[in-house]
Chains A and B, each alone.
Chain A
């Protein structure tokens, strides 16, 4: 896994360096700097961030900046402290790790809830579609799922905000931004929880739709494939009833490929969080990444991409372990 991570750092680093724009260049777009001012601004940042150095030196200095060493001198002796910082933000001047402590839980909360929701709804839907193959329910759901899968999150989110938060339909069902109402921290625990849940509904729904469509279609395909397997015919010949064939024989076999999809859904969630958090103004990792990209905040963009990569590799690991636990044919030694 470590070689993968090192590979991730290399790729992330190169992509960021070759992307258009430089730190400081966002101020040109506002048009309030003269040509001289622009040049001065650029060269200031170039020197400050060492962008005039050769690429490999920049790469290694990035590595160094992931950990900061501080020498704390007290009266008796000096102590050296290592701190894991992942670099510093250009705009907030705080370390990425300190930002993450606040933001990562929020993004993970939304992603985890979405994944749980996706699995809970998509698997029964797909199963039902497979069982009613070719009938009205199956055809209807298939069309709907295709639509859900094709519509971009941005559009869904905009429509949802337009219809459910502005009161254009007469009721303002959901709040349109943030994760809690003002003053929510003073509420008793359950009221706070309800308030948080109320705020979470729209973002979670937006981020889940695509994944739900994907997983439901995969479930349907997997169940159908298993229904035509030889072991199903054997079970029928034994006298197992239709419902029990689905419940005991087909269901468990169909779940196996769906475990692997978990590893596909996680990056999907993280990518979606950038859009959803921006739209709903949620102070999570996604919004942080979005701002960093707009500001060409190199350290933060690199750190975020690195974290996404590491999270995904953990997702793959979890999927592999779960698969080995569920399928007796696979054993890791």
Chain B
């Protein structure tokens, strides 16, 4: 949380091509009663080696966004209604399932929240890592095993050779998450989607895993999309933060701007609701008017009910949801904030990275 006190003097901006560009993504799910819009008009950009944090409460569409990138959303009931996901200038949403198989695990890898259940219980760790290697690299079994041993050693599992033969249930939670990371990184992906990778772990292990991810990201020049609802993790790890609410981005800025000058009332609410040690309070602060079930999104002002929406320009129904770039590299989707007269931009795009010296712990 100390990021809030750090002045953004060490912003390092360089000109490079974006690694992944999500534009106007909309994903909905068919339930037996109605259609639920889990993500509606989401745009974001990640540059190589950048860490983008997707922040928001449960049900706001963070995981759906990540799963759409890999097209792991079951259709039906899911439906990617519109949008494009450009990865290395190919639109992933236009690729066939067969072509996607070559992207998943190779260029874009993903790690999940539950290390306890995310590994197949009847195969050894080694078999599962080697499976990923054999799928994407042109090597024989023996070489694959060497790569797997190297991958396990890289994530800090010692006696990697023996541990290849261990089953997931013989590993602790932290070890399993390390094994998951080894599996994801064995094929040297360019982008890692980390879907709350530390939520199920205790704080000590959490710190170790985050440190490990930072180290590996630096070594391999990998971009990371980090999904979390822990603002502490965001402050320590992210370059760019993207705050989501009810399937939409409400604020998008680099980590220092966001923590220093949060503009959107929801972001401010999130910061206000972080419990502080020593603050005597009977009840914890909550964010006002929170809807965290996607089925309820339509009750929010501006969604379907004719109440004036919270975002600017929303009065015009054809315009839809827009973000305002209220300051250079700071996008907000709210008409009640300052600097509203600045230009409109719907495509948030920040090529920003922390300097190396502050990527460690604060």
- Does B126 interact with chain A (Cβ within 8 Å)? no
Known: A230-B118, A253-B121. A238 touches B167 (CB 8 A): no
A57 at the interface (CB under 8 A from B): no
Selected interface stretch from B100-108, B141-149, B226-234, B260-268: B100-108
- Pick from B102, B103, B122, B135: contact of A327, CB below 8 A: B122
Closest CB of chain B to A268's CB: distance in Å? Answer: 27
B-side contacts of A328, CB under 8 Å? 121-122, 124, 167, 169
Contact across chains for A237 and B121 when beta carbons are under 8 A apart: no
Residues of A227-265 contacting chain B, CB below 8 A:
229-231, 233-242, 248-249, 252-253, 256
Report the contact-size class of chain A (Cβ under 8 Å from the partner): 20 to 34
Contact A240 B118 (CB under 8 A): no
Is the C-beta of A77 less than 8 angstroms from some C-beta in chain B? no
> When chains A and B are docked, how far (Å) is the Cα of A256 from the Cα of B328?
58
Contact B105 A237 (CB under 8 A): yes
- How many Å lie between the Cα of A74 and that of B105 in the bound state? 84
Output the least CB separation between B252 and chain A (Å).
Answer: 26
User: A329's contact among B106, B167, B183, by CB below 8 Å, is which?
Assistant: B167
Decide if B47 is an interface residue (CB 8 Å cutoff). no
Q: Is the CB of B183 within 8 A of A238?
A: yes
Contact of B104 among A239, A252, A256, A326 (CB under 8 A): A239
Stretch in B19-27, B109-117, B213-221, B238-246 touching the partner: B109-117
The answer to the question of B270 belonging to the interface, with a C-beta cut-off of 8 Å to chain A, is no
Q: Mark B188-203, 1 if CB is under 8 A from A, else 0.
A: 0000000000000000
| CB proximity of A66 to chain B, nearest CB, Å | 44
Q: How far is the CA of A230 from the CA of B119 in the complex (A)?
A: 7
Query: Across the two chains, which residue of chain A brings its CB closest to B105?
Result: A239
Annotate B119-143 by CB proximity to A: 1 below 8 A, 0 otherwise: 1111110000001100110000000
B55 CB to closest chain A CB (Å) equals 22
Task: Enumerate chain B residues within 8 angstroms of A237, measured Cβ to Cβ.
Answer: 70, 72, 104-105, 109-110, 112, 184
Interface of A is mostly: helix
Closest chain-B Cβ to A37's Cβ sits at a distance in Å of 68
Q: Is the CB of A329 within 8 A of B169?
A: yes
The chain A residue sitting closest to B76, CB to CB, is: A134
Query: Which residues from B are CB-within-8-Å of A229?
Result: 117
Chain A residues within an 8 Å CB radius of B124: 328
User: Across the interface, do A239 and B106 meet the contact criterion of CB distance under 8 Å?
Assistant: yes
Residue B180 is within 8 A (CB to CB) of chain A in the complex:
yes
Inter-chain contact A238/B120, CB cutoff 8 Å: no
Closest partner residue, chain B, to A255 (CB atom): B122
A237-B70, A237-B72, A239-B105 are known contacts. Are A329 and B135 too (CB-CB below 8 A)? no
Q: Are A238 and B117 in contact (CB under 8 A)?
A: no
CA–CA, A242 to B183, complex, Å? 19
Contact B121 A230 (CB under 8 A): no
Question: When the two chains form their complex, are residues B119 and A231 in contact, meaning their CB atoms are under 8 A apart?
Answer: yes
- Within the complex, what minimum Cβ distance (angstroms) separates A252 from chain B? 5
A238 x B112 contact (CB < 8 A): no
A239 cross-chain contacts in B, Cβ below 8 A:
101-106, 132, 135-136
B118 neighbours in A (Cβ, 8 Å)? 230-231, 233-234
Q: Which residues of chain A come closer than 8 Å to B131, judged between CB atoms?
A: 235, 238, 240, 248
Looking across the interface, which residue of chain A has its beta carbon closest to that of B71?
A: A236
Q: Which residues of chain A are near B109, meaning CB under 8 Å?
A: 237-238
Within 8 A of B (CB), among A275-333: 326-329
Query: A234–B114 Cα gap in the complex (Å)?
Result: 10
Nearest CB on B from A65, distance (A): 49
For A248, what are the chain B residues with a Cβ–Cβ distance below 8 Å?
Answer: 131
A sample of 27 cross-chain residue pairs with beta-carbon separation below 8 angstroms, ordered by A number, consists of A229-B117, A230-B112, A230-B117, A231-B121, A234-B183, A236-B70, A236-B104, A237-B70, A237-B105, A237-B112, A238-B104, A238-B132, A239-B101, A239-B102, A239-B106, A239-B135, A242-B97, A249-B120, A249-B123, A252-B122, A253-B120, A253-B121, A253-B122, A326-B122, A328-B167, A328-B169, A329-B169
Interface residues of A (CB under 8 A from B): 229-231, 233-242, 248-249, 252-253, 256, 326-329
Measuring CB to CB, which residues of chain B are less than 8 angstroms from any residue of chain A?
70, 72, 97, 101-106, 109-110, 112, 114, 117-124, 131-132, 135-136, 167, 169, 180, 183-184
